[in-house]
Amino acid sequence: MQTQKVIDHIVSWLKDYAKKANVNGYVLGVSGGVDSGVVSTLSAMTGLKTLLIEMPIRQKEDQVNRAWEHMNDLKSRFPNVETMSVNLTPAFEELYKTFDVQEEIYPNEKLAFANTRARLRMLTLYYYGQLNGLLVCGTGNKVEDFGIGFYTKYGDGGVDVSPIADLYKTEVYKLAKALNLVKNIQEAIPTDGLWDVDRTDEQQIGATYPELEKIQKEYGTKTADDYEGRDKEVFLIFDRMHKAARHKIDPIPVCDIPEEWRND
């Protein structure tokens, strides 16, 4: 990949979009992962106002430390970067007490609360975005956004622009290296940070990003019968998750009303 051309293209795209939208720049959440690290850097490189928000919810200390190491590094290099922390744990705890149900009856309770964390963060980004005249900048990559739908609908999927959604995870890591992000961000193990226990993305999914990328590049041209061994296992994981995520990936369906019915 021609990393510098990709970097310049995304930065230019972000600048042009903000100008056409008549906004001051972008706001985004920084998690301590490589995706938000790359996107926040690209936004900073536009020269437009870039507001970085760390939003802990029962967060692990290492994730918080990585996020702030990166944000402080960007702030020291780009005068247009502003940083802040919004502790969402108290708000989440109130929702937890309000929404809490019996897990024995509702086995999806933990997943629902995990998604609630992401939606609280989305709400926060739009609040501060509107205050400052900023668009919410997404950090999802191609595998997550259009492959297996590994994001929360109206959570981290609720954004105004998606500058790296056409890049695979391995390509995002290449940009992180080219952008000289702090080492801890470049080496961060992917995790969504939505659970009270340590769960990496690969543990949740059951496959690595390079394995998923191989299948995604061939998806639609091959079936399970074309694979064997580990490749077949990953294909079945990808196929199952992709089909389950169509409601996220496809536009919201609209029930069309026949025109002749509009006339009495």
Give the mean model confidence (pLDDT) for residues 217-246.
Answer: 96
The predicted-structure confidence for 19-29, as pLDDT tens digits, reads as follows: 999 999 999 99
Distance between CA atoms of residues 47 and 18, nearest Å: 11
Is the pLDDT score of 239 beyond 80? yes
Can you give the residue ranges of every domain in the chain? 3-201
Under 8 Å between Cβ of 146 and 249? yes
Q: Which fold has domain 3-201?
A: Rossmann fold (3.40.50)
Q: Where are the alpha helices (DSSP H) in the chain?
A: 3-21, 34-44, 61-77, 89-99, 109-132, 142, 169-178, 183-186, 201-205, 209-218, 229-244, 246-249
Cβ-Cβ contacts under 8 Å for 209 (sequence gap 6 or more):
143, 168, 169, 170, 190, 201, 202
Is the pLDDT score of 130 beyond 90? yes
The predicted-structure confidence for 74-101, as pLDDT tens digits, reads as follows: 999 999 999 999 999 999 999 989 987 7
**Is the whole-model pTM more than 0.85?**
yes
Give the mean model confidence (pLDDT) for residues 123-130.
Answer: 98
Distance between CA atoms of residues 238 and 230, nearest Å: 12
Distance between CA atoms of residues 168 and 176, nearest Å: 13
Exposed e or buried b per residue across 227-255, where buried means at least 16 C-beta atoms within 10 angstroms of its C-beta? beeebeebbebbeebbeebeebeeeeeee
Give the mean model confidence (pLDDT) for residues 55-61.
Answer: 87
Is the pLDDT score of 228 beyond 80? yes
What pLDDT shows up at residue 9?
98
Q: Per-residue confidence at 102, pLDDT binned at 50, 70, 90?
A: confident
CA 39 to chain centre: 10
The predicted-structure confidence for 5-16, as pLDDT tens digits, reads as follows: 999 999 999 999
Give the mean model confidence (pLDDT) for residues 110-128.
Answer: 95
Comparing C-alpha atoms, which of 163, 128, 143, 130 is closest to residue 42? Answer: 163
The predicted-structure confidence for 141-163, as pLDDT tens digits, reads as follows: 999 999 999 999 999 999 999 99
What pLDDT shows up at residue 197?
62
What is the DSSP code (8-state) at residue 12?
H
What pLDDT shows up at residue 202?
87
Mean model confidence pLDDT for the chain = 93
Is the pLDDT score of 195 beyond 80? no
Exposed e or buried b per residue across 2-12, where buried means at least 16 C-beta atoms within 10 angstroms of its C-beta? eeeebbeebbe
Q: Per-residue confidence at 104, pLDDT binned at 50, 70, 90?
A: confident
Q: Per-residue confidence at 263, pLDDT binned at 50, 70, 90?
A: confident
Comparing C-alpha atoms, which of 69, 72, 74 is closest to residue 49? Answer: 74
Q: Per-residue confidence at 203, pLDDT binned at 50, 70, 90?
A: confident
Q: Per-residue confidence at 107, pLDDT binned at 50, 70, 90?
A: confident
